[in-house]
Structure formats: structure tokens, C-alpha cells
Chain A
């Protein structure tokens, strides 16, 4: 079974600085999807960024980018120019191409210090 591990329960960063959230996963599949979801205090699950495993290029969405290391099974999220609105729980998630369910990590609580 696939597993997703986020080893940082909490992280904090100064506003306007850069922060990196770590995620590792375990799978025997060669093709799959990886995601970062954000959950603010409202508890809505918001997709931040996605990566398809067959693509070597790291995904980027404005201030959010990933460092996808397929061989190492690592998928970290970098947030540049951190803003107060970035404060939330961040969940890394895995989904196989054939399988349908998302498997989530335990989450990292990100605090932005003004």
C-alpha cells in the first residue's frame, strides 16, 4: 500500500521569506500523481499544486513550486514570498493512475510571522 510521510508537524516563516515543506512517499508504481493541498482554518481543502510523475519538469504555480525527486520519492513544496494568507495546514497527497483514492500525509502546520 502507498504511504505518504510529512516529517514536519509544524513550520514557521517570516512574512516575505521562503519556506520549504517536505514530503516523502512510498510506492511501487511508476506512474502516479502527487498533490499539495492547503487547509486554512475554514477547513476547505484547496489544491495548491499538482505533479504528474511522468513529467520531469517541476510544477510551478505562481509563488508555489515543487522539487520532485522521483528516484528518492521526495516531493517538497516551496513557498516564496510568504504571505499571511498562506498560514494553513498543508497536506501532501498521492494518487495512483489506476487507483482512485487519494492517500494523504499527516500534514504540516505552517505559521507566517508578520
Chain B
């Protein structure tokens, strides 16, 4: 059973370009979460999605950032017009449906490291 898959693992962009990070949750999981980790800091919640719905985006910056989890395909975190401050590791996590939550645990991918030049 494959874990949470994120790609690309490493992404380099120049200021002003767009970054797209993809996340495929574990099989059977319909809840996806995105977290950002700045260097030497903890993980900060960004957004929580279910299929075709954004449930909680309280951690998302108001501008340039968006996320989706379509009916088919992976979840996408999109950052438009990247700036150097966007350089970070972006982690995706998934969990099963509410009735099958395994003691509340989230399963994390290996992260996507974005570097903005």
C-alpha cells in the first residue's frame, strides 16, 4: 500500500514564476492537508481539502496561493508569482474518512522543497 506521494521532491523557480506541487493521498484516504515548513521551524497548517471541496483554508495566504483536490487526480498546491519568502518545504498529509480515522493520525508525504531564486 503506497504512502502519500508528493512530487516534485525538489522544485526551483525564479521570482515571479508559478510553482505547482502535487499530492496523491494514500489509497482509501479522502482528506488532504497541506503544511508549510520554513527552515528551522515547525509545520504550519495551510489548507484542508476533501474531494472537490476546501474545508479549512485558514492557514493559506490570501494572495497567490490556491489549492484544489479534484474528483480525479492528485491535490494541487499552486503558488503564483513566487517570491523568495515562499522558499520552504511543503508537506502533504492524508487521513481516511471520519468513520475510519485511525486515532486521529495523519500520514505524511516526504515533502516538496521549493527554492525561489
Contacts and interface: CB of A to CB of B under 8 A. Distances in A.
B65 interface: no
Q: Which of B95, B104, B105 has most A Cβ within 10 Å? A: B104
A101 B43 contact: no
Contacts, number: 58
Nearest to A9: B40
Interface string A16-45: 000000000000000011010100001111
B69 interface: no
Contact of B56 (A44, A100, A104): A100
A100 B95 contact: yes
Given A33-B103, A45-B91, A50-B103, A100 B33 contact: yes
Interface string B24-55: 00000001010100000111110010000001
A95 B104 contact: yes
B89 A43 contact: yes
A13 interface: no
B86 interface: no
Interface in A23-81: 32-33, 35, 37, 42-45, 47, 50, 52
Given A101-B45, A102-B33, A107-B42, A33 B108 contact: no
Contact of A44 (B55, B104, B110): B110
Given A45-B91, A50-B104, A52-B103, A101 B33 contact: yes
Interface of A: 32-33, 35, 37, 42-45, 47, 50, 52, 91, 95, 97, 100-107
Interface of B: 31, 33, 35, 41-45, 48, 55-56, 59, 89, 91, 93, 95, 103-106, 108, 110-111, 113
